[in-house]
Amino acid sequence: MTELARQVADFLAAHDPATTDRLDFLRARYDAGLAWVAFPAGHGGQGLPQALQSDVDRLFAEAGAPSNLPERNGIGLGMAAPTILTYGTDEQMERFLKPLWTGEEIWCQLFSEPGAGSDLANVSTRAVRDGDEWVVNGQKVWTSGAHNARFAILVARTDPDAVKHAGLTYFLCDMTDPGVEIRPLRQITGEAEFNEVFLTDVRIPDTQRLGAEGEGWRVANTTLNNERVSIGKGAAREGGMIGVVANTWRQTPEGRTPELHDRLLRLWVDAEVARISGRLLSQKLASGQPGPEGSAAKLTFARISQELAGLELEILGEDGLRYEDEQGWEMVRPERVDFTGRDAGYRYLRAKGNSIEGGTSEIIRNIVSERVLGLPGEHRTDKDRPWKELAK
DSSP state for residue 79 in the 8-state scheme = I
Same domain as 291, residue 347: yes
Window from 18-32, 53-67, 282-296 with minimum mean pLDDT: 282-296
Same domain as 237, residue 185: no
Written in H, E and C, the secondary structure of 141-156 is CCCCCHHHCCEEEEEE
Name the active-site residue from 227, 293, 307, 357: 227
Last residue of a domain, one of 185, 214, 243: 214
Q: Residue 217 has what pLDDT?
A: 95
Highest mean pLDDT (candidates 59-68, 217-226, 342-351): 59-68
Same domain as 308, residue 280: yes
Please state, rounded to an integer, the average pLDDT across all residues of the chain.
89
pLDDT at 379 over 70: yes
Determine what percent of the chain is predicted with pLDDT higher than 70. Answer: 92
Find the mean pLDDT for residues 183-197.
Answer: 92
Nearest to 231 by CA among 263, 274, 272: 274
Full domain range(s) for residue 365:
219-372
Cα–Cα distance for residue pair 36/34, rounded to 1 Å: 6
Domain annotation covers residue 387: no
227 is catalytic: yes
Same domain as 368, residue 234: yes
Domain annotation covers residue 86: no
Which comes out higher in pLDDT, residue 217 or 228? Answer: 217
pLDDT tier, 327 (very low <50, low <70, confident <90, very high otherwise)? low
Same domain as 274, residue 197: no
Q: Residue 138 has what pLDDT?
A: 98
Same domain as 226, residue 200: no
Q: CA 54, 28, 75 angle in degrees (round to 5)? A: 55
Domain annotation covers residue 99: no
pLDDT tier, 290 (very low <50, low <70, confident <90, very high otherwise)? low
Same domain as 168, residue 223: no
Same domain as 360, residue 263: yes
pLDDT tier, 391 (very low <50, low <70, confident <90, very high otherwise)? confident
Beta bridge partners of 154: 110, 171
Q: Residue 289 has what pLDDT?
A: 58
Same domain as 208, residue 252: no
Same domain as 330, residue 204: no
Q: Residue 156 has what pLDDT?
A: 98
Q: What is the CATH number of the domain that holds 134?
A: 2.40.110.10
- Per the structure, the count of domains in the chain is 3
Highest mean pLDDT (candidates 48-57, 90-99, 111-120): 90-99
Domain annotation covers residue 139: yes
Q: What is the CATH number of the domain that holds 253?
A: 1.20.140.10
Whole-prediction pTM: 0.88
Domain annotation covers residue 391: no
Domain annotation covers residue 364: yes
CA distances from 166 to 61, 84, 139, 213 (A): 45, 20, 20, 10
Same domain as 282, residue 332: yes
Same domain as 282, residue 254: yes
Q: Residue 84: which residues within 8 A CB-CB, separation 6 or more? A: 92, 93, 96, 97, 100, 172, 210
